[in-house]
Structure 1
Amino acid sequence: MSMTQRKDQPDVTREQLLRAAADLILAQGLQAVTLDAIARRAGVSKGDLQQHFQTKPILLDALFDDATQRFAGAVAAEMAKDPDANGRGTRAYLRVTVAAPADDGEAHVMRSLIGLMLFDSEVRELWSSIWDESREAQLSPQELESPELTLCRLAIDGLWMSDLLEQRTVSGPMRAGVILRIEALTRKAPGVPAGLRHDGSRVPEE
């Protein structure tokens, strides 16, 4: 694609740059993501890149937003395939995170960005509310108020953190068994009746 064509298609160039950044994370890790490296991989000049993303933090913010939207889309797609409404959002969250194949590129990029958020306090302050809102937006009030399903999501987060840190304390068969157990629990978890909180108290009427 020529430079003229790129200027006529700014969205294509932006997507191209974000894809190049994600590919770099997959191939070399987050530390390899520099503006120069992204420009080379995307086949554009650094000046062209900086028309979209002036600094690395701005680019990473955009990449996180893009990855979060893709993640939300994947969760929504899993929910649409699940006929069982009870625990549906939590099961979809399970399948898109820890149950994703090891070679799932999108999941790997998301893990890398979440890792950056966890270990960089400045980034965490910027991204944590976006991440929390994205996850919770697809959960029903009943799921959010269910202690059993909250326990399942905390277990999912724990497994995901184990993957992120590349811990080997859980064997492959054990990990697979835990995932199956979590999914089974999401189907057995009772919903919270409308008008009640998880502690049994009533929600005040507006």
Structure 2
Amino acid sequence: MATAGMTDPRPTFGAIVLAGGNARRLGGFSKGDVEINGTTMLTSVTDACQKAGVPADNIVVVGHAETELKRTVEDPPFSGPVAGIGAGLDHVDADRLFVLSCDIPFIASGLPRLIDTYQGEGVCFGGEKAQYLAGLYSSDALRNRIGLLQQEERGLIGMPVRKLMESLDVTILGEHEAARDLDTWEAVNEAREQASED
């Protein structure tokens, strides 16, 4: 139990959920608004954040998908995920930030693992390649790196997430079913069939 004059060592958590982009593989349909078993993928992700201990008022959705939570849009719109992360940072205040894409609706079971394995400046799931948009990161590290990248000639527009994250001390875990992204209609339909069977 904490005593008077002592600070609580437990970290605080926030979340930036990216729900923008052109969703070309979905024919331009908003990924966040796609439903799996009656729930939008965006809602599944934001609900997972809250179950993992992120206060609802410390979650920001970046993009145009429907949500009752805080929402912002990168400037200019559709300028990429790094610009989206930069825009989201203005609306959250925490020691550690989940940075998640909206098309990983089964992430709830993976967030506790990210919390438990956190070290250095962050941790994310992997597989064939690092899934940087299924990770938990140091807020200070993200803010510092974004600040440096904004000074480059093109700024954050069109910048790949890899360029933001590779310079950080990020632990890349193995592949995890919870981080499976549904960015094609084939993947969405498979997930819908799986959900109906469950």
Normalising by structure 1, we get a TM-score of: 0.28
Greater length-normalized contact order (CA 8 Å, ≥ 6 residues apart): 2
Q: Which has the higher helix share?
A: 1
Q: Which one has the largest radius of gyration?
A: 1
Normalising by structure 2, we get a TM-score of: 0.29
